[in-house]
């Protein structure tokens, strides 16, 4: 297919900005007409997917809406009713499906997410903290001047600074940011292993319709999308989840179990995720981290699990294997191609070195954001079937060791061999390493759709 019209697609959809500072502003809309005026002003400054010929911009701006937000902006009912049911209901109402219960239930979320509604998401990414503050101050002034909307809350996020350098690690110490999918027509620095596995062992881009509305997906179908088509085309859906990390609990558990595991603490940590903490894939290097593999873009996501079906190299339940099983379920990976999501997450909170005291109570974690054309078929399936339930991976009711909403009896099994250096091991008594603190489902429209929403000209006829 020809290249996409990048001027019509929000840049947040097509590329990871990799800017060190971010702030998300969450708004309520009280007056439709004034709210549309705000959208009109903001749209003029929204960052699109156009190629950065002059290098990275100093800052970026993007916008998305919940279903209540579109209601309060006055979209016609005949359009609102055509959105997918999971987007209409919102993430809070889907709690039983997602296993957002117990500690992860909405009554334990941050007040902004627990007590009120969120209509609008504004995202600012920037090179410096000063620039972030300046741009956000401009937006806050604009909100005040236009009226009809108010800021319900904000969330800061950004790269962690470790040993004086910006890092791609998160608070548990794992290097993040590997393996977002390639899509047909999306220009990016592609790597083997990021798309879909072909019969000859090479990799190809996924169908555009796995990311963007208005294009065929891997089944050759158009994902469920609102009408008119101009409202949907070149847009996508975003999952936003604030994931609090209990860093003290994680470090204590890893230390305790690492003393019992023959391979030691760091090897055990690698078995949790499927990558060593420097990013080395366990499937490619099961016994030691290898910086050469991490640095090699031809290798660091170029692996499969089909020759390791028993999980003796990378455990069957390891996080990267559960969330992208590749060819582990057979059929050369075709069962997985319709479950892929694009991640845009960032850590929040200050980093605490491994040798210093850290508290679970402090604000620290990851803002998980995922883009997909179908919330139900992609994110919700992965969350329900692969994160919170282990049957597809032949691990019964076992959940993802880090993201799972654990109960006292939960366990994590590391498959092993007769080799004394690679014994099987069972981690019992799993605590809550990660707790959900809020979030929702958002629609990221195209630039065309943003202008239609701002002008009040969305017409399903």
The whole-number pLDDT of residue 408 equals 83
The whole-number pLDDT of residue 2 equals 59
The whole-number pLDDT of residue 349 equals 97
> Which range has the worst mean pLDDT, 169-178, 417-426, 430-439?
417-426
The whole-number pLDDT of residue 363 equals 97
pLDDT tier at 1, thresholds 50, 70, 90:
low
- What is the C-alpha to C-alpha distance for residues 166 and 19, in angstroms, rounded to an integer? 10
Q: Which helix (H) or strand (E) holds 439?
A: strand 434-444
434 neighbors 365 (Cβ within 8 angstroms): yes
Question: Please, what sign has the CA dihedral across residues 136, 138, 141, 147?
Answer: negative
The whole-number pLDDT of residue 82 equals 97
- What is the C-alpha to C-alpha distance for residues 435 and 18, in angstroms, rounded to an integer? 25
Q: Angle at CA 421, nearest 5°, toward 321 and 413? A: 40
pLDDT in tens, 35-59: 999 999 999 999 999 999 989 999 9
pLDDT tier at 243, thresholds 50, 70, 90:
very high
Quickly count: other Cβ atoms within 10 Å of residue 133's Cβ: 14
- Tokens for 221, please give them: 């179908």
The whole-number pLDDT of residue 418 equals 81
383 neighbors 94 (Cβ within 8 angstroms): no
Query: What whole-number percentage of the chain has pLDDT above 70?
Result: 100
Q: Is 424 exposed, middle or buried (0-12, 13-18, 19+ CB in 10 A)?
A: middle
Long-range contacts of 163-172 (CB under 8 A, 24+ apart): 166/20, 167/351, 169/277, 169/351, 170/245, 170/347, 170/366, 171/245, 171/247, 171/347, 171/349, 171/351, 171/352, 171/364, 171/365, 171/366, 172/245, 172/247, 172/250, 172/402, 172/433
The whole-number pLDDT of residue 461 equals 84
- Tokens for 423, please give them: 């014994």
Sketch the domain layout of the chain as residue ranges.
6-241+439-455, 247-339+384-435
The whole-number pLDDT of residue 222 equals 94
Mean pLDDT of 351-364: 96
pLDDT in tens, 390-414: 998 889 999 999 999 999 889 999 9
Mean pLDDT of 213-221: 96
pLDDT tier at 23, thresholds 50, 70, 90:
very high
What are the DSSP E strand ranges found in 175-324? 196-197, 203-204, 236-245
pLDDT tier at 460, thresholds 50, 70, 90:
confident
Residue carrying structure tokens 């069962």: 335
pLDDT in tens, 176-214: 988 799 999 998 778 899 999 999 999 999 999 999 999
pLDDT in tens, 358-378: 999 999 999 999 999 999 999
- Mean pLDDT, the chain, rounded, equals 95
Mean pLDDT of 302-313: 95
pLDDT tier at 139, thresholds 50, 70, 90:
very high
């Amino acid at each position: 297919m020809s290249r996409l019209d990048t001027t019509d697609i929000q840049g947040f959809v097509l590329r990871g900005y990799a800017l060190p500072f971010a702030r998300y502003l969450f708004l309520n809309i009280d007056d439709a007409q004034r709210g549309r005026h705000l959208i009109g002003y903001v749209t003029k400054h929204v960052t699109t997917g156009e190629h950065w010929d002059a290098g990275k911009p100093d800052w970026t701006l993007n916008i998305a809406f919940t279903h209540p937000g579109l209601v309060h902006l006055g979209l016609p009912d005949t359009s609102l009713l055509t959105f997918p049911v999971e987007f209409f209901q919102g993430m809070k109402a889907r709690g039983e499906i997602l296993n957002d219960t117990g500690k992860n239930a909405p009554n334990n979320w941050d007040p902004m997410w627990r007590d009120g509604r969120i209509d609008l998401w504004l995202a600012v990414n920037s090179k410096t903290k000063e620039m972030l503050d300046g741009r956000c101050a401009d937006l806050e002034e604009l909100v005040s001047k236009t009226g009809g909307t108010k800021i319900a809350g904000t969330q800061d996020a950004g790269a962690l600074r470790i040993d004086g350098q910006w890092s791609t690690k998160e608070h548990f110490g794992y290097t993040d940011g590997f393996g977002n999918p390639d899509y047909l027509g999306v220009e990016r620095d592609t790597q083997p292993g990021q798309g879909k596995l072909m019969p000859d062992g090479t990799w190809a881009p996924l169908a555009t319709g796995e990311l963007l509305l208005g294009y065929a997906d891997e089944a050759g179908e158009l994902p469920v999308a609102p009408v008119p088509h101009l409202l949907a085309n070149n847009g996508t859906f975003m999952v936003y989840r604030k994931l609090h990390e209990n860093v003290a609990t994680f470090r204590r558990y890893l230390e305790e179990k690492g003393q019992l595991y023959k391979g030691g603490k760091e090897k055990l940590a690698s078995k949790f995720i499927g990558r060593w903490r420097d990013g080395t894939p366990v499937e490619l290097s099961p016994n030691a981290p290898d910086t050469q593999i991490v640095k090699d873009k031809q290798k660091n996501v170029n692996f499969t699990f089909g020759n390791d079906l028993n999980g003796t190299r990378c455990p069957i339940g390891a996080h990267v294997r559960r969330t992208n099983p590749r060819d582990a379920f057979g059929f050369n990976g075709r069962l997985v191609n319709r479950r892929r999501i694009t991640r845009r997450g960032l850590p929040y909170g200050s980093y605490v070195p491994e040798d210093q005291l850290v508290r679970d109570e402090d604000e620290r974690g990851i803002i998980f954001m995922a883009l997909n054309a179908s919330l139900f078929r992609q994110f919700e399936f992965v969350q329900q079937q692969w994160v919170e339930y282990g049957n597809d991976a032949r691990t019964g009711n076992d959940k993802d060791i880090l993201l799972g909403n654990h109960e006292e009896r939960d366990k994590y099994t590391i498959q092993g061999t007769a080799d004394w250096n690679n014994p099987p091991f069972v981690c019992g008594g799993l605590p809550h390493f990660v707790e959900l603190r809020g979030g929702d489902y958002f629609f990221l429209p195209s630039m065309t759709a943003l202008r239609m929403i701002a002008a009040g000209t969305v017409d399903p006829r």
